[in-house]
Amino acid sequence: NAGVTQTPKFQVLKTGQSMTLQCAQDMNHEYMSWYRQDPGMGLRLIHYSVGAGITDQGEVPNGYNVSRSTTEDFPLRLLSAAPSQTSVYFCASTKGQGARWYGYTFGSGTRLTVV
Amino acid sequence: DQQVKQNSPSLSVQEGRISILNCDYTNSMFDYFLWYKKYPAEGPTFLISISSIKDKNEDGRFTVFLNKSAKHLSLHIVPSQPGDSAVYFCAASAGYTGANSKLTFGKGITLSVRP
């Protein structure tokens, strides 16, 4: 049981380049989210999904796109990378339902540097 | 406007003593509160949670207290161990289904437990 898998673990981009951060979970979780962590800022929600085909914006969505074609995968696309997008990105998932909710399970993160 | 506040950026305690980590929130719609622990270069891991219908939840050395009238919660770790040294995030949601399951995080507290 791999949990939440994020690839790549590290990436350096040039300003203006595009790329996709991959996220996959094997726990049959309905809900998935993308967060970014910046020093002194905690974790901020970028986009989230409550099921295949359903996505919505979080707190800081500008510059990012998502899609959810399957339950397992939730890729995050950077359209035109900017230095302000230098951050650590975390993907997370949860079952959502049930009397005992343990919140989201997080991946190990992707450290992105935009130069 | 920060909805979840962890006003102390760091805390240092002696091994064996109690660690008390505080968290305040402003959104009265928050119904579920969680604590996550994060080691460097890893994703956050779930520690303990509490529903707004309770004022205390205990799991081993970890206890979370909720004071709804004061919009305040705290995490108590007794006894503290060097392995508890990490960043602790307080998080809140308006529920655990659908869009309500979105987590709002505080900025985190760095706990150092001295041997």
Chain B residues with CB under 8 Å of a chain A CB are 4, 6, 9, 32, 34, 36, 41-46, 49, 89, 91, 93, 96-99, 101-108
Return the pLDDT at B15: 97
**pLDDT at position A21, please?**
98
Closest approach of A20 to chain B, Cα-based (Å) = 19
Residue type, B42: E
Res. B1: pLDDT tops 80: no
Q: What is the mean pLDDT of residues A34-60?
A: 94
Contact B46 A103 (CB under 8 A): yes
| CA dist B49 → A19, A37, B12, B57 (Å) | 35, 21, 23, 7
Which is it for strands A54-57 and A42-51: parallel, antiparallel or unpaired? Answer: antiparallel
Residue A1, pLDDT score: 65
The residue-averaged pLDDT of A35-49 equals 94
Instruction: Quickly state the pLDDT bin for A98 (edges 50, 70, 90).
Output: low
* Mean model confidence pLDDT for chain A: 93
Residues from chain B that touch A109, judged by Cβ atoms under 8 A, are: 41-43
Distance of CA B90 to the CA centre of its chain: 4
pLDDT confidence of A97, banded at 50, 70, 90?
A: low
| Burial of residue A69 (number of CB atoms within 10 Å: 0-12, 13-18, 19+) | exposed
pLDDT of A102 reads: 77
